[in-house]
Chain A
Amino acid sequence: MHELSICQSMLGIVEKTMAEHPNATLERIFLDIGRGSTVESTLLSEAFEVITSGGPYEGVELVINDIPIAGRCRSCERDFTYEEFALGCPSCGSTDIEIHSGLELDIKHLEINED
């Protein structure tokens, strides 16, 4: 399970960003995690709690935007969304498809309190 090391990489970026706001407290972290990204959101949240417990980010809220796998069929030219990777276009069954989203593993923004 690599959620722990993904979480550490994410916190590395957060720490660098927070160093630019020395008097602020971190409230929320916003992530985009695609369903085809190999990262399990629940495991990531658990890893986050374990890693941050007892430290300065204990209690910070991790907000995960769960992004479904979406693409377009080159045969019938329809857009589609899957819950899981699937074989072919849900409308016409063609296997000539392209995937546009669902592989994200991104940190989007932070919410901080500057007082």
Chain B
Amino acid sequence: MSKVNIEKKILSGNDRVAIENRQRFSDAGLLVFNIISSPGSGKTTLLEATLDRLAGETRILVIEGDVSTERDMDRVRAHGADGIQINTGGGCHLSAKMIRDVLGELALEAADIVFIENVGNLICPSTYDLGEDIRMVLLSTAEGDDKPMKYPSIFHEAELAIITKIDLLPYLEFDVEKVGTEIGVLNPECEVLKLSALKGEGMDVWIEWIGKRLEMKRAARPVAGE
């Protein structure tokens, strides 16, 4: 019997493709979001409201990940986004390779932002780097305030957490402060915003947040010819 050393991350193949994707996005000067949440937390609704707010000034591409159907892509197209739907056919997450396979079909150079809506799932997508700049997680007030500790890995990995559907707070027992504290323990660097994409409350802060990150990204981009 002999021993063969490997010492590799199991997902090193995915990570390699994610690095390639990140380079392509960066070459095209794009700010890329990977949006993760349970099904129904409000990812598509937030995209619709964001598209309405940024229309005209910022050019946005959307990559929609779902097990099946083009429904979410149809919804964001109706709000002016270009993009593409990926159907995973049962798969519970998007992978870097699935993203790479559709990049050729997108006009990356003509855009400012790419929003990737991951498959609705709070566990699996957190393990797969897609090459995004910002990994963000949504938690809706209707899901309950115990979720960060129950699904710690995504909160540990995310740079931004958004508490959605705050218009429902009067009807629920959901302690916004407690959720903020728990996320802070899992990940002290994670910023927490709260909003209602449907009613508009908190949307200003989110739109400002995007603007700030877009500026940072542009400032970091080497000017052609220098």
Point out residues on A near B: beta carbons under 8 Å: 1-2, 5-6, 9-10, 12-13, 17, 21, 24, 27, 31, 36-39, 85-88, 95, 97, 99, 103, 105-114
Closest to A21 in B: B4
Is B26 in contact with chain A by the CB < 8 A criterion? no
Is B23 in contact with chain A by the CB < 8 A criterion? no
Closest to A11 in B: B10
Closest to A6 in B: B10
Q: Which of B5, B12, B92, B152 contacts A13 (CB 8 A)?
A: B12
Say whether chain A's binding surface is mostly helix, strand, loop, or mixed: mixed
Given contacts A17-B4, A110-B4, A38 and B186 within 8 Å (CB-CB) = no
Point out residues on B near A: beta carbons under 8 Å: 1-14, 91-93, 95, 123-124, 126-128, 149, 152-153, 156, 181-182, 184-186
Complex CA gap A69/B114 in Å reads 34
Give B142 Cβ to nearest chain A Cβ, in Å: 23
Complex CA gap A5/B13 in Å reads 12
A108 lies within 8 A of B7 (CB): yes
Given contacts A5-B91, A12-B13, A13-B12, A109 and B5 within 8 Å (CB-CB) = yes
Complex CA gap A12/B11 in Å reads 10
Collect the chain A residues with CB atoms within 8 Å of residue B6's CB: 13, 17, 107-110
Collect the chain A residues with CB atoms within 8 Å of residue B4's CB: 17, 21, 109-112
Complex CA gap A17/B186 in Å reads 36
Given contacts A1-B92, A6-B10, A37-B153, A95 and B127 within 8 Å (CB-CB) = no
B10 lies within 8 A of A105 (CB): yes
Complex CA gap A113/B1 in Å reads 5
Give B29 Cβ to nearest chain A Cβ, in Å: 31
B153 lies within 8 A of A38 (CB): yes
Complex CA gap A28/B126 in Å reads 28
Supply 30 A–B pairs (Cβ within 8 Å), ascending by A.
Answer: A1-B92, A2-B93, A2-B123, A5-B95, A6-B10, A6-B11, A6-B127, A9-B10, A9-B13, A10-B10, A13-B6, A13-B13, A21-B4, A24-B2, A31-B10, A36-B156, A38-B126, A85-B186, A87-B149, A88-B185, A103-B156, A105-B9, A105-B10, A105-B11, A106-B7, A106-B10, A107-B7, A107-B8, A108-B5, A111-B4
